[in-house]
C-alpha cells in the first residue's frame, strides 16, 4: 500500500475540478474526459504555467480488409466494442470494412452479438455489463434514435433491456455513412457503426476524418497494408490484427488532435509527463569554465 496522504480522492462535479486546477499547490493536472471540458481545463491550468496531460474524446475504429482473418476479426471487434459496454476510452465505435469481406463479417458479428449475455458485470458468465448511470443510458438512447433517423439500420439491438438497471442491448448499425452523427461523435456505449469502403485508401481517409485520434486498428494479412496503416492512421495508438484496446498500461498512452495535447501517460513516458527534468553541471577543474567561449583554447590543450 501507499503511505497515508500520498493518494487522495476528492469527489465532486465541475466546481471541485476547477478548484483543483486553480489551486497553486497543484503543479500537474492529468485530465480524462470530454474534449470540451478538457480544453477548458487546459486553458485554465496553462494560464498558471502548469503542466497538463489530456486524454479526451475518441471515435476509435477497426479496419477489416478483404484478406483479414475473419474469425480473429470477429472476436476482436466484439470484445473491443462490447466487452466493457463501450465505456472505455479505447473502445471500438466504428467498424470500417472492405466491401468483399463485409457480408461474411456482418453475418458472423450478428450471430456473435446475439449470443452475448447482458447482466451483472461481476458475474464471469456475463459478456456485457450495465451502463454507469441513467445519464449514460439517456445518451446512448439519444444517439441510437439519431442514428435511426439518419438512415442507419440496426442489425441487432437498438433498445434498452426491460430489466432493473442500466442495461442496453449490444447494437450494430449498418448503412452508416461517414458524415452521420453516429459515425463522428463519441457515444460511450455498446453501439458500433459499420462503414463500408472500397479499399485501404478510403478506409484510412474515413478513419482520419473525425476530430479525434486515440486508437485505431487494422486486420490484414498484407504486410504492406499493415505498415501503410502504421504510417498514415492519425491516432496515438495503432494496432495490427488486434482490437483497439489493451495497450493502455505498458505503452505510451495518449491521442492526437481532439483527443490529446501531445503528452503521454503510462509506459516509460509517464515519467516525463509527471516529473520534471533537472540538469546538474559539476565542475572539478578548479578553474573558471567559460562555456561555449573558451572552446578553441580547450581544444588546443587536447
Q: Taking residues 16-20, what's their average pLDDT?
A: 93
pLDDT at 247: 75
54 pLDDT above the threshold of 90: yes
pLDDT at 208: 98
Q: Taking residues 137-141, what's their average pLDDT?
A: 98
Residue 281 within a domain: no
Residues 158 and 38 in one domain: no
pLDDT at 302: 59
pLDDT at 68: 99
pLDDT at 267: 86
Residues 208 and 65 in one domain: yes
Q: Taking residues 198-211, what's their average pLDDT?
A: 98
293 pLDDT above the threshold of 90: no
297 pLDDT above the threshold of 70: no
CB atoms within 10 A of CB 130: 21
Residues 143 and 219 in one domain: yes
Residues 203 and 77 in one domain: yes
Which residue in the list 22, 55, 196, 248 is annotated as catalytic?
55
Q: What whole-number percentage of the chain has pLDDT above 90?
A: 86
Residues 82 and 148 in one domain: yes
Residues 194 and 109 in one domain: yes
Q: Which residues of 134-173 are buried (b: 16+ CB within 10 A; e: fewer)?
A: eebbebbbebbeebeebebebbbbbebeeeeebbbbbbbb
Rg of the chain over Cα atoms, rounded to whole angstroms, equals 24
Residue 171 within a domain: yes
Q: Taking residues 5-22, what's their average pLDDT?
A: 92
Residues 157 and 121 in one domain: yes
Range of the structural domain that residue 34 is part of: 14-56
Residue 157 within a domain: yes
Which residue in the list 71, 89, 141, 301 is annotated as catalytic?
89
Burial class (CB in 10 A: 0-12, 13-18, 19+), 71: exposed
Strands 237-240 and 60-64: unpaired
pLDDT in tens, 214-247: 999 999 999 999 999 999 999 999 999 999 998 7
Residues 99 and 212 in one domain: yes
277 pLDDT above the threshold of 80: yes
Residue 235 within a domain: yes
Identify the band that residue 295 occupies on the pLDDT scale cut at 50, 70 and 90.
Answer: confident
Residue 120 within a domain: yes
Residue 253 within a domain: no
Q: Quick check: is 55 catalytic?
A: yes
pLDDT at 298: 64
pLDDT at 285: 86
pLDDT in tens, 75-133: 999 999 999 999 999 999 999 999 999 999 999 999 999 999 999 999 999 999 999 99
Q: What is the mean pLDDT of the chain?
A: 94
Q: Which of 223, 240, 257 is the last residue of a domain?
A: 240
What CATH number is given to the structural domain containing 77?
3.40.309.10
**Residue indicated by cell numbers 439518419:** 150
pLDDT at 154: 98
pLDDT at 193: 99
CB atoms within 10 A of CB 113: 24
Amino acid at each position: 500500500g501507499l503511505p497515508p496522504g500520498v493518494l487522495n480522492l476528492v469527489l465532486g462535479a465541475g466546481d471541485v475540478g476547477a478548484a483543483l486546477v486553480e489551486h497553486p499547490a497543484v503543479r500537474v493536472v492529468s485530465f480524462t474526459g470530454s474534449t470540451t471540458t478538457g480544453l477548458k481545463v487546459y486553458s485554465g491550468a496553462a494560464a498558471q504555467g502548469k503542466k497538463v496531460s489530456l486524454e479526451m474524446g475518441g471515435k476509435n475504429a477497426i479496419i477489416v480488409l478483404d484478406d483479414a482473418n475473419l474469425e480473429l476479426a470477429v472476436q476482436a471487434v466484439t470484445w473491443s466494442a462490447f466487452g466493457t459496454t463501450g465505456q472505455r476510452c479505447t473502445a471500438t465505435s466504428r467498424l470500417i470494412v472492405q466491401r468483399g469481406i463485409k457480408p461474411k463479417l456482418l453475418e458472423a458479428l450478428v450471430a456473435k452479438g446475439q449470443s452475448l449475455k447482458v447482466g451483472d458485470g461481476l458475474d464471469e458468465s456475463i459478456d456485457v455489463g450495465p451502463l454507469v448511470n441513467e445519464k449514460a443510458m439517456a445518451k446512448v438512447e439519444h444517439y441510437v434514435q439519431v442514428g435511426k433517423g439518419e438512415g442507419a439500420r440496426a442489425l441487432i439491438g437498438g433498445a434498452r433491456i426491460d430489466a432493473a438497471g442500466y442495461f442496453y442491448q449490444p447494437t450494430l448499425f449498418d448503412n452508416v455513412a461517414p458524415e452521420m452523427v453516429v459515425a463522428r461523435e463519441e457515444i460511450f456505449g455498446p453501439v458500433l457503426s459499420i462503414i463500408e469502403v472500397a479499399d485501404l485508401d478510403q478506409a484510412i481517409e474515413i478513419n482520419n476524418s473525425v476530430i479525434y485520434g486515440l486508437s485505431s486498428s487494422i486486420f490484414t494479412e498484407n504486410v504492406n497494408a499493415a505498415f501503410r496503416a502504421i504510417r498514415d492512421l492519425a491516432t496515438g495508438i495503432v494496432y495490427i490484427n488486434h482490437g483497439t484496446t489493451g495497450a493502455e498500461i505498458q505503452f505510451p498512452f495518449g491521442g492526437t488532435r481532439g483527443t490529446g495535447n501531445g503528452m503521454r501517460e503510462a509506459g516509460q513516458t509517464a515519467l516525463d509527463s509527471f516529473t520534471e527534468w533537472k540538469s546538474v553541471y559539476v565542475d572539478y577543474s578548479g578553474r573558471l569554465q567559460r562555456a561555449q567561449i573558451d572552446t578553441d583554447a580547450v581544444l588546443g590543450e587536447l
